[in-house]
Chain A
Amino acid sequence: GQNIDQPTEMTATEGAIVQINCTYQTSGFNGLFWYQQHAGEAPTFLSYNVLDGLEEKGRFSSFLSRSKGYSYLLLKELQMKDSASYLCAVRDRDYKLSFGAGTTVTVRA
């Protein structure tokens, strides 16, 4: 099974940078995903890491260290629309995802 931990809440100012950490313990690792979920909406895919290192996609970057069971999502140049929950998910060898409880990010003006 999977045990996935991420902070419950984070607050940051518009234009700033926020880093959301995710640690996991897994019986079989086959990739780590980050999803964004606005209140009342479905999760939408942000990033995918399967090898160690940094994946950059515009204002969002995601990092993975498999040996440490650790990932982070970096949100740069924060905008008000970035206020949402961010979900860390680990995929096992059967392609099933296990999700963390999510981190609610609030962006203040």
Chain B
Amino acid sequence: IAGITQAPTSQILAAGRRMTLRCTQDMRHNAMYWYRQDLGLGLRLIHYSNTAGTTGEGEVPDGYSVSRANTDDFPLTLASAVPSQTSVYFCASSGGLATDTQYFGPGTRLTVL
């Protein structure tokens, strides 16, 4: 079934640890995005990639890094997790054309203690 998968579904992490959230899509979409969603703040863009090999910073990039080695995968890494990174993380993808919408993965619930 075509779509976006994320792993893990949820994770509890000690502060200071390194963590990589995985995102894979099989729709051959050019563009991919990482958001975090916090109560009362809505979805905020962390990083994005318009095509394989390129990445850009969103609204809240500090403490996060991404890579886009191929079309399908867009991992998000927290080099040294802090409690303020406790959130629900959503990956999304789109075809990149003017009329294309973004489709979201199921999310990863991350708790940093």
Residues of A within 8 A of B (CB): 30-31, 33, 41-45, 48, 50, 87, 89, 95-102
Q: A41-B106, A43-B104, A99-B43 are in contact. Are A48 and B50 (CB under 8 A)?
A: no
Q: Which residues of A contact B33 (CB under 8 A)?
A: 96-97
Residues of B within 8 A of A (CB): 31, 33, 35, 40-45, 48, 50, 58-59, 90, 94, 96, 98-99, 101-107
A-B contact count (CB 8 A): 47
Query: Binding site of A, secondary structure by majority: helix, strand, loop or mixed?
Result: loop
Q: A95-B50, A95-B94 are in contact. Are A45 and B42 (CB under 8 A)?
A: no
Q: A45-B101, A95-B96 are in contact. Are A101 and B107 (CB under 8 A)?
A: no
Instruction: Give me 6 other A-B pairs in contact (C-beta within 8 A), A48-B99, A95-B94, A99-B35 excluded.
Output: A45-B101, A45-B103, A96-B33, A96-B48, A97-B43, A98-B45
A37 to B70, CA, bound (A): 29
